[in-house]
Structure 1
Amino acid sequence: MTDILRTLSVASSGMQAQAERLRHTSENIANADTPGYRRKTIPFREMVDGGGVEAGRLSLSQAELPRVYDPDHPMADETGHYDGSSVDLVIEIADAREAQRSYEANLRMFDQARKMTDGLLELLRR
């Protein structure tokens, strides 16, 4: 029974980590056109007890921000340039799909472990 509960715990931690990743990806997409915005990324790390994963510390992209030429923009300097965003929508959409698929895989694993637990409890009742 403890293996099934451990499976539930691992799947749950995976869903929580992917939900956190998807939240930051959504923020990146929402701020793709915000001047000076740096892309947020979040690594995963194994939990201390080895029972799943957790979201690590949030980090901001250190890539150089692209210079955008738009002399009419309120943030433009005397040369007509301002710092753009480090968000690439293609990468963010790919990350969002990967997070969604990983979340769904963890959800299926969680559901399967729950069904096994229900079956085991049904056998014990007989």
Structure 2
Amino acid sequence: MDFVKSLFIAASGLRAQNGRMRVIAENIANASSTGRAPGEDPYRRKIATFQSELDRSLKAEVVRLGPIEADQSDFGQRYEPGHPAADENGYVLTPNVNSLIETVDMQEAQRSYEANLNVIQTTRRMLQRTFEILRA
């Protein structure tokens, strides 16, 4: 495989995973963000998607962050009658963010990021060795 192609493909993976980690971090940061008034929806979890795209200059498929989608799962409820967003029964809608799932997703994104980084480092070392062989 062409060294340049492998570098660009791995770099596209780095960018995509970086975007995914930003979305996950936003979810974690808003895990307790409720509405401000009765009937107002709380924060809705976001999901990063990926798209494969042909890079014509490389003649190779690369990955990029696709549209950020809203998780349509149901909101939770918590009994908190003194909250400004509580309904007539005292329940507040809570975000559909599960911190455990977000943590696992973040670990997976970090590992994918690290794998792409390893590809770049390995390719760089192979290029350096190739130049050393050519000089000799």
Shorter-chain TM-score bucket reads over 0.9
- How many equivalent pairs are there? 125
Paired position in structure 2 for 1:17: 16
Paired position in structure 2 for 1:105: 115
What TM-score results when the alignment is normalised by the length of structure 1? 0.92
Aligned partner letter, 1:33: S
Percent identity between the two aligned chains: 41
Structure 1 contact 21–42 (Cα < 8 Å) conserved: yes
Paired position in structure 1 for 2:50: 44
- Greater CA drift, 86-95 or 59-68: 59-68
Aligned partner letter, 1:72: G
Structure 1 contact 13–53 (Cα < 8 Å) conserved: yes
Q: Per-residue deviation at 1:121?
A: 2.2
How big is each residue's C-alpha offset from its partner over 1:67-122, in whole Å with a ceiling of 9 and x where there is no partner? 22110111112211121110001100000000001111110011000111122222
List alignment gaps of at least 5 residues for structure 2.
Answer: 35-41
List alignment gaps of at least 5 residues for structure 1.
Answer: none
How big is each residue's C-alpha offset from its partner over 1:25-73, in whole Å with a ceiling of 9 and x where there is no partner? 1111111111111111111111223432111000111112112211011
Whole-Å separation in 2 of the counterparts to 1:110 and 1:43: 23
RMSD: 1.3
Whole-Å separation in 1 of the counterparts to 2:131 and 2:51: 33
Q: Per-residue deviation at 1:8?
A: 0.3
Aligned partner letter, 1:99: A
Alignment of 1:86-97 (within 5 A): 86-97=96-107
